[in-house]
Structure formats: structure tokens, C-alpha cells
């Protein structure tokens, strides 16, 4: 059985929660698994990676034993989605410092632009199997 790519996200960020819902709707095969960066599962998954972020300012993709963050994680995740979304992976030709400058600007402003919740998202019963505890 192939291991599932895992997306770790800021569980209280409205933008991040919206992105997870967006991905779930475009992942009909149920490829992705999810955990919030604040959860025990998220923290445990990051333990083996010394390069893992120590804050919640970036999405993290764990794919085939490798860790990706920022725009690398987002663009690599797009490859798994239905529709035309995999074409976004073409933005990988843009140098990482440029992509991550834009990513960091959005990440710095995500709470003021999109708001945040008091607690991490609680998955619906039908989605619970896709979230790691």
C-alpha cells in the first residue's frame, strides 16, 4: 500500500482551514491525510525532521519520507488534485526565493485578512478518517 501524503496546517487559521476544505473537495480518491501543526499527531510527525518549522506559519507536506514547506508544499500538493489544479505545479520554475516571498507575505497577514478560530478545526464524521489524531 502506498503511503498517503500528509498535509500539516495551522489549525486555527481560517485561510488554512479553507485550503484544507478546498483540497478535500478536489481529492476524490482520498489521497491526502491531514493534521494540524498544533496537534500531538502533527508534532509527532515532525519530530524526525530537524529542518521542520517550529511555528505554524507554513503548511507542511510530508511526501515519500520528505518534508516540504511554504510554496514547495503548496505546489507539490496541487499535483494530486482533480481538474486543472495540477498545472499550478508549473510555478516551480519560478525561483524559490521569489515564490516564498509571496508565500511569507500571505502567511504574515493571514489572520488579519481571513481571521482565526479559538480552537482547531473539528472534522465532520465523514471526514474524520482523513485526519490523524
pLDDT tens across 60-103, in order? 999 999 999 999 999 999 999 999 999 999 999 999 999 999 99
Q: What pLDDT sits at residue 1? A: 52
Phi, psi torsion values for 131, nearest 5 degrees: -105, 135
Ordered by start, the domain boundaries in the chain are 6-120
String of b and e for 66-81 (b: at least 16 CB within 10 Å)? Answer: ebbbbbbbbbbbbebb
Predicted confidence (pLDDT) at residue 32 exceeds the cutoff of 90? yes
* Bridge partners, 9 (sequence order): 36
Q: What pLDDT sits at residue 2? A: 64
pTM of the model: 0.91
**Of 28-37, 46-55, 90-99, 120-129, minimum mean pLDDT range:** 120-129
Predicted confidence (pLDDT) at residue 54 exceeds the cutoff of 90? no
- Rounded mean pLDDT, 31-44: 93
Measure the CA–CA gap between 126 and 115, rounded to whole angstroms: 26
Q: What pLDDT sits at residue 129? A: 77
Amino acid at each position: 500500500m502506498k503511503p498517503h501524503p500528509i498535509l500539516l496546517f495551522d489549525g486555527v487559521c481560517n485561510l488554512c482551514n479553507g485550503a484544507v476544505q478546498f483540497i478535500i473537495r478536489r481529492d476524490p480518491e482520498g489521497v491526502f491525510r491531514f493534521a494540524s501543526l498544533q496537534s500531538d499527531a502533527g508534532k509527532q510527525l515532525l519530530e524526525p525532521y530537524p529542518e521542520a518549522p517550529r511555528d505554524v506559519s507554513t503548511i507542511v507536506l510530508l511526501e515519500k519520507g520528505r518534508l516540504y514547506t511554504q510554496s514547495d508544499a503548496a505546489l507539490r500538493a496541487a499535483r494530486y488534485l482533480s481538474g486543472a489544479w495540477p498545472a499550478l505545479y508549473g510555478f516551480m520554475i519560478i525561483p524559490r526565493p521569489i515564490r516564498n516571498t509571496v508565500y511569507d507575505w500571505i502567511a504574515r497577514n493571514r489572520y488579519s485578512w481571513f481571521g482565526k478560530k479559538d480552537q482547531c478545526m473539528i472534522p465532520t464524521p465523514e471526514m474524520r478518517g482523513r485526519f490523524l489524531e
